Amino acid sequence: MSGVNFKLKRQSSETMLELSQKIIDEMTKGFFSSEIEVCNIEHVGDTEVLLLGFERYYLRAGSSAAVIIQCICTGDTQMAVVSGLGGETGLLHESWGANEDIAYKVLGILRTYGFAQEKEESMKCGRKNYP
């Protein structure tokens, strides 16, 4: 499986519940909306951890792509990791950009709410890269 990861950061006193509602509202509205599959907020001491997962069917890929969003809030510092994955089809496991498309949508949403991108990286999970 291939995909793309983004790492972001911001300073904010907004709670993970407030942030999750904004992300859910943006991801589930409009004609090209995504379905929410996972929404979980945990508290560990003074740290809040948000986990969101969305899925969307892409006609061009003939399958669904997913995005996982993990946000960690400690004090006023919030860090987010966005991972777009799936959407692959056929013998060559081609996603036709579906996994990147859904991840870039979340990246845009998070930037709207003050997150700045720190790092982008491709990921390959336990298989050879095919031409």
pLDDT of residue 31: 65
117, 122, 59, 38 alpha-carbon torsion, rounded to 10°? -60
* Model pLDDT for residues 57-113, shown as the tens digit of each residue: 656 556 677 889 999 999 999 999 998 876 555 545 555 566 777 888 899 999 999
**Would you state the pLDDT for residue 126?**
46
Q: What is the DSSP letter of 25?
A: H
**Polymer length in residues for the chain:** 131
